[in-house]
Amino acid sequence: MGRLLESVNPEKPLERGYAWVATRPGGEVVGTADAARTAAAMTLHFRDGTVDVRLERAGAKSHNPAMPPAAKPTQPELF
């Protein structure tokens, strides 16, 4: 019985680096991008704590200034 309970423990995946997302307020689990767009304010649950977040741009492209867009290769064609 103990192993079965442990296998369905929602905190277990957090130990492997995953997070789960819940609406704020309310605490309903967010399982889709549509649900996240509707919620707008959410809480990310990690192994070591939580982070409150707000949606800035629904459907916008990912913004990561550390990773510039891929440049066209400058190597000439071989064929």
The pLDDT, as a whole number, for residue 44 is 92
The band of 6, judged by pLDDT with boundaries at 50, 70 and 90, is confident
**Predicted model pTM:** 0.59
How far apart, in whole angstroms, are the C-alpha atoms of residue 3 and residue 7? 6
Instruction: Give pLDDT, residue 65.
Output: 59
Per-residue pLDDT tens over the stretch 20-62: 889 988 889 888 888 888 888 999 999 899 999 998 876 655 5
The predicted structure's pLDDT at residue 24: 87
* Whole-number pLDDT of residue 42: 94
For the chain, the distance separating the N- and C-terminal CA atoms, rounded to the nearest angstrom, is 64
Q: How far apart (Å, rounded) are the C-alpha atoms in residues 50 and 21?
A: 10
- Dihedral sign from CA coordinates of 5, 8, 11, 15: positive
